Amino acid sequence: MTDSAKPTLLVVDGHSLAYRAFFALPVDNFSTKDGQHTNGIYGFLSMLINLIKAEKPTHLAVAFDTSRQSFRTREYTEYKANRSESPSEFKGQIPLLQDCLAAMSIQVLAKEDFEADDILATLATQGAEQGYDVLVCSGDRDTIQLVNDDITLLYPNVQGVSQLKRYDRQAVIDRYGVPPEQYPDIAALVGETSDNLPGVPKVGEKTAVKWLTQFGSLDELLANADKVTGVVGNNLREHLDDVTRNRRLNRLLTDVELPVTVADLEVQPMDAQEVRDIFARLEFKTLIPRVAELAGIEQQMAAVSSAAAQLAPVAEQLDGPALAAWLTGTTGDVAITFVVQGGLPSRVGVATSGAAAEADWSAEVAAFIAPWLASDAPKVFNDAKPQVKALARAGAALGGLAFDTSVAGWLLKPSFPDKTLADLVDRYLDEKLPEADPTQLVPETEGATPGQLSWYTLRVSEALRAELAPSVASVLTDIELPTLTTLADMELAGVSVSHDKLSGFSSELGARADGIAQEAYATIGREVNLGSPKQLQEVLFEELQLPKTRKTKTGYSTDAAVLADLQEQAPHPFLDQLLQHREATKLRQIIESLDSAIAADGRIRTTYVQTGSQTGRLSSTDPNLQNIPVRTEESRRIRAAFEVGEGYETLLTADYSQIEMRIMAHLSEDPGLVEAFNSGEDLHRFVGARVFAVEPADVTSAMRTKVKAMSYGLVYGLSAFGLSKQLRIEQSEAKQLMMEYFARFGAVRDYLRSSVEQARIDGYTETIFGRRRPFPDLASPNRVLRENAERAALNAPIQGSAADIMKIALFHIHDEFAREGLGSRVLMQIHDELVVEVAPGEWDAAERIVRERMGDAASLSVPLDVQIGRGANWDEAAH
DNA sequence: TGAGACACGTA
DNA sequence: CGTACGTGTCTCAA
């Protein structure tokens, strides 16, 4: 144990220990789902956490080498020259480890031309001089020389880094037979193979210790080398230069100039949010609580100096008239929170920067504050949509929606998964939102009241506003908030779905699936669970001995593409039966989940998640109405069950044709592509004519298929390999196709290249309307990560701009329906398609509004083409 | 009970 | 070795 009265300095060699951890832990068990290996990072951090917990250092730093070059390699070019290239799986782990350490507020030190151990030596020496207990943690034996009464070395044992051996002065003597300061003399004589420093042949530790004891010092030994007898004596005399060179090189520098002093290394409280972010990214689930435990200790240590969090004001409990008076007396932003119970408001809380008030929701309260609620007075919400819906159900109108902290938080950082108020308070205010512990019957801590929630919401909104770039702020105000109220109305409306149509179809499919299953069992002579990929692998690749397919993490793939491939290579009736069984059960499962989602009034109400995507798209859950089958004739029977509701005349569907390619044409300003869209010719026919140098009329369907796949693939960053795979053509032909394509539409390639380059510089991509998506991985040294980020960055402005355009069209239509007093309403949004329920007698008006507002949602250098259909159900309306 | 893997539906 | 989503099932570990 270290003397508790003295401060403790812990200095760690990051590179050498991470490298040991890398070899100690199986790389396969430690990689993220996007392919980043993390075993070295994990092992190092795990060790460091244990170390901090055990030693409780007051001062801490981790040192790294900057490269393999240092003053030692300049002095002796062979130094460490025998070291093989570090494995590719290790590359990229060091920068990420440094990011982790930065998030943990741990000082990371590195200096050009010096090795990490020189930095350790310098800090350790300074620390010892200044009265610290010093712990040096390194995997390099040269650091043994640093040990003295104040400096202890922690050295990993052979198994890895989980156990460290303590070397104080006595331990060094016990182990090596000499005091620490003489250890380098031994090393110089024996040599160090890992550093490529040959020593005296046939001389090991024992001989070296004997000599040193005999002569007193290395200098004496070298001066009296002629007195050493035997073969080893000859060897010594022949290798005097090597020994002096070794001794020169293994001396650690204790006077490296550093930008910090030991005092600067005082342990700092860590930013729990930052730590959680990067650990989550590296998928270190078990490390998070371990670090949190440490952070708790540190926060206690740091509590004295850190500013106390502001205390939420106690909310005044008001009645209707008093609340109305309170609200009309405010100017500027007011944050408001409705507690929603059973879909209706139950309490309301409001806050300005200095005060908060709240009331139980009642008809009286509603009546008194209705004018203010409906007014343009600016209102700030956190996660407004469910509250807007509750208000609508209660018959209250809402105006002046000025800010939504959860939407703003998402715009700022779309990759951040949780957007609750507590998350935002933690992240942007660095405070804790008071929350009642739900596991306690009588919670020890009170949760925040609605007025206090509003007070936090307002403060979070101010912090967010300060961080929002102007273009992103305008996306919030001009696109997201109007979309939010539109979505609330769409969710409330729901869509009418016929239970009768669904249930009949479901039993039909169930019977069919059972029949196919029986046939399949007969084919292979036993019953298996056709839904179990694991059992299927046994059947396909072991019992039926079919050729092995694409590898997955746990074995071999049995997905539809693979089965279709197999059917060609090695036809077997089981394959077809399996595919058919999958199709039938999948359809039935979709039908069942839809059917069970039909409410008493015959309608399905989805929830559109406005903050769920990275690109700006919506998503739909409970149930997902954005992935209802459409491709096969049979699956369209499901769409036919989506019907016009009672009291309405017909459904209208409207979709943008090729919106992403049009955006590509606009952004790239490719003359050929722009002309294609302005010519009125079928896009793929036009492109096919150019690529294959034929007349548009002579474009065959095979040509059209190819350029169509190419065009769509472009938007996703498709490679020649992927294109060849999809089109089932040779890779060389795919390459040729891409060459021809880019020869005719070169500006497209130029645009795609430059947009990724710009993103690398900016760190984010931007849509036409200024929505941003950060891409830190564009700078990653890890190829897999970087290339994934490049494809996503290629796609983000295109998919995102399309999402922006559709949102604008959507709320324009919604608002114009309302303004013109129409009963027609938008029910669904499926990325590039809208489904509208048209009220009796309103077809012409609705059709005009939809067509116009979708057409003029954005002004691009190519027209936005809108296809409109009409029918009693979704399937019919699609034609 | 929960998480991960797999498969598959959509734009 | 093609972007963006959500859901259901199976499987294994806790």
Per-residue pLDDT of A256-287, as tens digits, reads: 999 999 999 999 888 777 787 788 778 787 78
Asked if residue A224 has pLDDT above 90, the reply is no
**Bridge partners, A819 (sequence order):** none
Asked if residue A792 has pLDDT above 60, the reply is yes
The predicted pLDDT at position A307 comes to 43
Q: Which region among A109-113, A444-448, A586-590 has the lowest average model confidence (pLDDT)? A: A444-448
A436 pLDDT tier (thresholds 50, 70, 90): confident
Is the CB of A716 within 7 Å of strand C? yes
Q: Measure, in angstroms, how far nucleotide B10 C1' is from residue A471 CA.
A: 30
Question: How confident is the prediction for chain A on average, in pLDDT?
Answer: 90
Task: Find the mean pLDDT for residues A325-335.
Answer: 94
Asked if residue A499 has pLDDT above 80, the reply is yes
Domain ranges of chain A: 8-176+253-297, 318-468, 660-796
Which has more pLDDT, A141 or A847? A847
d(CA A295, CA A290): 9
**Bridge partners, A603 (sequence order):** A496
Q: Measure, in angstroms, how far nucleotide B2 C1' is from residue A49 CA.
A: 27
Q: Which 624-643 residues of chain A approach strand C with CB closer than 7 Å? A: 624, 626-627
Smallest CA–C1' distance to C5, residue: A619
The predicted pLDDT at position A445 comes to 63
Q: Measure, in angstroms, how far nucleotide C9 C1' is from residue A585 CA.
A: 11
Identify which of A221-225, A358-362, A431-435 has the greatest average pLDDT: A358-362
Q: Which region among A173-177, A486-490, A549-553, A814-818 has the lowest average model confidence (pLDDT)? A: A549-553
Those nucleotides of strand C lying less than 7 Å from any protein Cβ are 1-12
What is the three-class DSSP state of A652? strand
Cα dihedral A464, A467, A471, A477, rounded to 10, equals 10
The predicted pLDDT at position A161 comes to 64
DSSP string, A488-543: HHHHHH-EEE-HHHHHHHHHHHHHHHHHHHHHHHHHHTS---TT-HHHHHIIIIII
- Nucleotide in closest CA–C1' contact with A714: C2
Name, in order, each residue with C-beta under 8 angstroms of A520's C-beta and a sequence gap of 6 or more: A530, A574, A577, A578, A581
The predicted pLDDT at position A306 comes to 35
Asked if residue A384 has pLDDT above 80, the reply is yes
Is the CB of A75 within 7 Å of strand C? no
A84 pLDDT tier (thresholds 50, 70, 90): confident
The architecture that CATH gives domain A318-468 is 2-Layer Sandwich (3.30)
The predicted pLDDT at position A2 comes to 45
A441 pLDDT tier (thresholds 50, 70, 90): low
Asked if residue A443 has pLDDT above 80, the reply is no
Task: Find the mean pLDDT for residues A62-84.
Answer: 84
d(CA A730, CA A732): 5
Q: A636, A526, A530: which is closest to A575 by C-alpha?
A: A530
d(CA A78, CA A513): 70
Q: Measure, in angstroms, how far nucleotide C13 C1' is from residue A626 CA.
A: 34
- Fold exhibited by the domain A660-796: DNA polymerase; domain 1 (1.10.150)
Check: CB of residue A587 under 8 Å from CB of residue A580: no
Q: Which region among A178-187, A750-759, A808-817 has the lowest average model confidence (pLDDT)? A: A178-187
Q: Which region among A182-191, A328-337, A393-402, A854-863 has the lowest average model confidence (pLDDT)? A: A182-191
Q: Give me the phi and psi of A364, to 5 degrees please.
A: -65, -50
- The percentage of residues in chain A with a pLDDT greater than 90, rounded to a whole number, is 64
Is the CB of A701 within 7 Å of strand C? no
Is the CB of A415 within 7 Å of strand C? no
A784 pLDDT tier (thresholds 50, 70, 90): confident
Q: A702, A698, A707: which is closest to A673 by C-alpha?
A: A707
Task: Find the mean pLDDT for residues A840-856.
Answer: 98
Is the CB of A622 within 7 Å of strand C? yes
Is the CB of A785 within 7 Å of strand C? no
Asked if residue A18 has pLDDT above 60, the reply is yes
Is the CB of A175 within 7 Å of strand C? no
Check: CB of residue A404 under 8 Å from CB of residue A481: yes
Smallest CA–C1' distance to B6, residue: A533
Q: Measure, in angstroms, how far nucleotide C9 C1' is from residue A588 CA.
A: 14
Is the CB of A597 within 7 Å of strand C? no
Asked if residue A439 has pLDDT above 80, the reply is no
The predicted pLDDT at position A568 comes to 82
Asked if residue A1 has pLDDT above 60, the reply is no
Strands A379-381 and A401-404 come out as parallel
Q: Which residues touch strand B (CB under 7 A)?
A: A 33, 283, 285, 533, 552-555, 557-561, 579, 582-583, 586, 590, 624, 626-632, 635, 830-833
Per-residue pLDDT of A146-170, as tens digits, reads: 999 999 999 987 656 667 889 999 9
Q: Measure, in angstroms, how far nucleotide B1 C1' is from residue A440 CA.
A: 20
Asked if residue A461 has pLDDT above 70, the reply is yes
Question: Token pair 């008093």 is at which residue?
Answer: A322
Task: Find the mean pLDDT for residues A75-79.
Answer: 81
DSSP string, A183-240: HHHHHHHHEEGGGTEE--TT--HHHHHHHHHHHSSHHHHHHTGGG--HHHHHHHHHTH
Smallest CA–C1' distance to C7, residue: A624
- Nucleotide in closest CA–C1' contact with A624: C6
Integer CA distances (angstroms), A101 to A17, A77, A93, A430, in order: 14, 32, 12, 19
Strands A356-360 and A344-351 come out as antiparallel
Smallest CA–C1' distance to C8, residue: A589
Q: DSSP code of A314?
A: P
Asked if residue A305 has pLDDT above 50, the reply is no
Alpha helices in A250-362 (DSSP H): 272-281, 287-302, 320-328
Is the CB of A529 within 7 Å of strand C? yes
What is the three-class DSSP state of A828? strand
Smallest CA–C1' distance to B9, residue: A627
DSSP string, A16-31: HHHHHHHHHS-GGGSB
- The percentage of residues in chain A with a pLDDT greater than 70, rounded to a whole number, is 96
Per-residue pLDDT of A689-723, as tens digits, reads: 999 999 999 999 999 999 999 999 999 999 999 99
Which has more pLDDT, A825 or A86? A825
Instruction: Report cis status (omega within 30 of 0) of the bond before A781.
Output: no
Is the CB of A719 within 7 Å of strand C? yes
Integer CA distances (angstroms), A538 to A359, A516, A529, A549, A797, in order: 64, 19, 11, 13, 44
Tokens representing A82 are: 């025998």
d(CA A220, CA A333): 83
Q: Measure, in angstroms, how far nucleotide C10 C1' is from residue A459 CA.
A: 46
Asked if residue A419 has pLDDT above 50, the reply is yes
Smallest CA–C1' distance to B7, residue: A559
Asked if residue A624 has pLDDT above 50, the reply is yes
Strands A316-317 and A356-360 come out as parallel
Which has more pLDDT, A37 or A822? A822
d(CA A421, CA A382): 7
Q: Measure, in angstroms, how far nucleotide B10 C1' is from residue A86 CA.
A: 44
d(CA A24, CA A16): 12
A4 pLDDT tier (thresholds 50, 70, 90): low
**Bridge partners, A316 (sequence order):** A357
Asked if residue A816 has pLDDT above 90, the reply is yes
Check: CB of residue A226 under 8 Å from CB of residue A237: yes
- Nucleotide in closest CA–C1' contact with A606: C6
Those nucleotides of strand B lying less than 7 Å from any protein Cβ are 4-11
- Nucleotide in closest CA–C1' contact with A659: B11
Tokens representing A46 are: 């795990």
The architecture that CATH gives domain A8-176+253-297 is 3-Layer(aba) Sandwich (3.40)
- Nucleotide in closest CA–C1' contact with A731: C1
H or E element in which residue A870 lies: strand A866-871
Q: Which 640-669 residues of chain A approach strand C with CB closer than 7 Å? A: none
